[in-house]
Structure 1
């Protein structure tokens, strides 16, 4: 079934009514408006007056804004989210201020390098809040140290910390802060003189922009690695091909998708095994298969996506973040195939293993909304999931 694309108030009334497990007749009995009018509003044939909205909101025990405006998924209350991200923003702003005279203690360089790698692992394990709390101190100490004891290893560690800041900000739904973090990553990568890190930074930038800008960003990253045959360069080049496949899918260019996926598979074969240690990209054959599923979903070829998803067996070593993304994509494909119970089960599993990430994935929201519209009355488990994402 196609996902609902209309965003009129009646659409939201129907959505909230189903989440409340009410029929149109049962809701009409609770408001001073007729069943006929309710049906016309839900279908978009009649506008919803302020009085109608107020009456329905009261009957459903929801805030009127749930019916009149786009809802926003929030993993934490706004003040708690701000408490997490504000220190990261402040740490990013110190990038060009030189040594920090206010620091009374700075860890040795090897400890800072190790901490940067540890925070990357935390994000892959979807421990976003723990990483967010530790990031500001690490970035401040690394920024101070690269100005007092500059080395390629420290600049790489700082670039890694900025990349982690990007990942955390994006997963917590702060795309503007994610862009700032990527700018800082590019600044540090240039001083590290590491073309692989620079290419990764351009790949990450491409994921934040529309297709017209994404393509030249990724191809410029490929140009940085032209002719390089190290395992690191091959893995990053392969990931860039996966990025180009994603862009091509958004453009509905099936030929380009197939071309870039084939190139990525070739790189994975040359790398051998899973290169999870290369810039935390988790590049390898499994990642290529996950992108085959993702590009099929993007092109709305749900039969193909579902067939690939059902055939894929993730190894135990798959990072939690990748596993959760697979479960959500699988849930979306199952929903499109009409398997509501199975879809909800995969969503519940994704929520269990990676709640912070799962809550913010757009596919989670699309799947839950699709499940609501498949059901005349949403089961309790679906209603709970919808409330969890703020629907």
Structure 2
């Protein structure tokens, strides 16, 4: 095989196969994603690496398929690493029977006790332990479903709230591991349970999940519109300074910022980052006892900072991304959970690579893997970045060796074919 790595070539072949199935010329696919026919040809031959989620999603949308169909997720691992798929199947089974009598032996625990389990899942989410999250969820969903069935009033509403948050954990883990059916089903059930929860903020959390799902089909305008719909629904609570509404408001603005960045709308993206920063200042300026983050949203000044860097990377502006990283407060970034810090380091790896510093890019990618190994090893952008580093190193070494070979007047130039 030439310089290209097998996985890189396979992505191109999947794109070509899908395009031919639709009878679509390369030029038409190129026009759909604002690229040339020659660019599409190079992608299909494995000569161009797709290292932007917006580009992968746009190609998938133009080909009327899910991005995972092109990048072949979930990626195969060892038998142990793939055990999460059995848990995912159990979760799907439970989510499909949401309106049937729950199968649960015994008496379900109270909502207070079940909320404690949510805190454990929150810690697992922060450490990007996605397989462990999925293994915990089938029994929790059954018990929560049973509590909603046998209770009434506030206790029943709390049970639906817990069910919605369980769906959110399933949704996050499924995104990280690459399971589109679980992504879609958990989002639908979260919306259903949120409406029954009695929690005025919970429907906005379900919409926050839906915005993420819209990225898969490159529906940037719709994802922004949905974020704005959710923001309107909690605006009065935000204005009152209700702590959970402030967190949700800021998180939705960050979702809108990424949507705008992927649509290459720089002014709107940075405007949304500014609004999220206002929300973070409002949250930090609050006095009183700590707030129970029942919605499990990672929102803070540090999270706003890394989203600002991500927005720059999404728009291929590595200079701005690295500038923002230099200005970021170390202590705010250090306070973030490993899952967010790992994703941030992955963004920096791309920025450094585009800036021509492969050694720094590899260092950032190594750090990302140490912080959140399961997340990074299963992330298509991290894998694409690593492939680009390897390919660049091969090319660089190859050219150096070719020059030395010429100077040494070696005859076996077939080595470089």
**Cα distance in 1 between the residues matched to 2:188 and 2:197:** 14
**Cα distance in 2 between the residues matched to 1:276 and 1:345:** 36
Q: CA deviation at 1:280?
A: 2.1
Q: List aligned pairs for 1:142-291, cutoff 5 A.
A: 142-150=144-152, 151=155, 152-209=157-214, 210-228=219-237, 229=240, 230-272=242-284, 277=293, 279-291=295-307
Q: CA deviation at 1:378?
A: 9.1
**Cα distance in 2 between the residues matched to 1:295 and 1:96:** 40
Distance change (3 Å), C-alpha of 1:253 and 1:133? same
**Cα distance in 1 between the residues matched to 2:45 and 2:256:** 43
Distance change (3 Å), C-alpha of 1:314 and 1:86? farther
Q: CA deviation at 1:164?
A: 0.6
Q: Which residue of the partner structure matches residue 414 of structure 2?
A: none
Q: CA deviation at 1:212?
A: 3.2
Q: Which residue of the partner structure matches residue 35 of structure 1?
A: none
Whether the 8 Å contact between 2:176 and 2:378 is mirrored in structure 1 is yes
Distance change (3 Å), C-alpha of 1:17 and 1:245? closer
Of 297, 302, 311, 1:295 maps to: 311
Q: Which residue of the partner structure matches residue 3 of structure 1?
A: none
Q: Which residue of the partner structure matches residue 344 of structure 1?
A: 362
Q: CA deviation at 1:270?
A: 1.1
**Cα distance in 2 between the residues matched to 1:372 and 1:76:** 23
**Cα distance in 1 between the residues matched to 2:324 and 2:110:** 47
Whether the 8 Å contact between 2:168 and 2:190 is mirrored in structure 1 is yes
Whether the 8 Å contact between 1:273 and 1:285 is mirrored in structure 2 is no
Q: For structure 1, which segment, 249-258 or 277-286, has the greater mean C-alpha deviation from structure 2 after superposition?
A: 277-286
Of 334, 339, 344, 1:326 maps to: 344
Q: CA deviation at 1:14?
A: 1.8
**Which blocks of at least 5 consecutive residues in structure 1 are unaligned?**
1-9, 20-42, 49-68, 380-391
Distance change (3 Å), C-alpha of 1:108 and 1:271? closer
Distance change (3 Å), C-alpha of 1:85 and 1:339? same
Structure 1 runs of 4+ with >6 Å offset: 273-276
- Number of paired residues? 323
Q: CA deviation at 1:360?
A: 2.1
Q: Which residue of the partner structure matches residue 14 of structure 1?
A: 3
Q: Which residue of the partner structure matches residue 375 of structure 2?
A: 357
Whether the 8 Å contact between 1:238 and 1:263 is mirrored in structure 2 is yes
Q: CA deviation at 1:88?
A: 1.3
**Which blocks of at least 5 consecutive residues in structure 2 are unaligned?**
9-40, 47-69, 398-417
The structure, 1 or 2, with the larger RCO (C-alpha pairs under 8 Å, 6+ apart) is 1
1:337-373: CA deviations, max 9, x gaps? 1111111111112112211111122320231122123
Q: Which residue of the partner structure matches residue 54 of structure 1?
A: none
